[in-house]
Amino acid sequence: MEAREERSVTVAATVSDSKGARSYKGQIIGDSMSVTINFKWLIQLVIFVAMIVYGWWQLESRIQGLERNMVLALEEIELHEAERKHAEETHVAQMEERMLWYENELNLNPFSWGKKGKK
């Protein structure tokens, strides 16, 4: 009967041990303290930290890409603004030339008609 009880205790101990998560018991730190590490939690913690680091890296790389695109867009805007100003100055100069030609050749101002003859 004693052998039977011993076997049932051993079987119960192995069944209860196999159902739980594996742990490693470390060295004793103090009189009543010891360090234990649950491997399942340790693996989950490593995976969680890896996911956080990967997410942060993705966020940083996306922000850097957006900043680079913003700088390129601002440079392109400055280039277009310089081209527009140059085109506007050229157009104003052409308009002034035409205005001078019309003033000299057509003389549409009725108050200046008599001045040419008086000189």
What does the pLDDT look like over 80-91, one tens digit per residue? 999 999 999 999
Region 83-101: mean pLDDT is 94
What single string gives the DSSP state of each residue in the chain?
Answer: -HHHHHHHHHHHHHHHHHHSPPEEEEEE-SSS-EEEEEHHHHHHHHHHHHHHHHHHHHHHHHHHHHHHHHHHHHHHHHHHHHHHHHHHHHHHHHHHHHHHHHHHHT---GGGHHHHHH-
pLDDT at 13 over 60: no
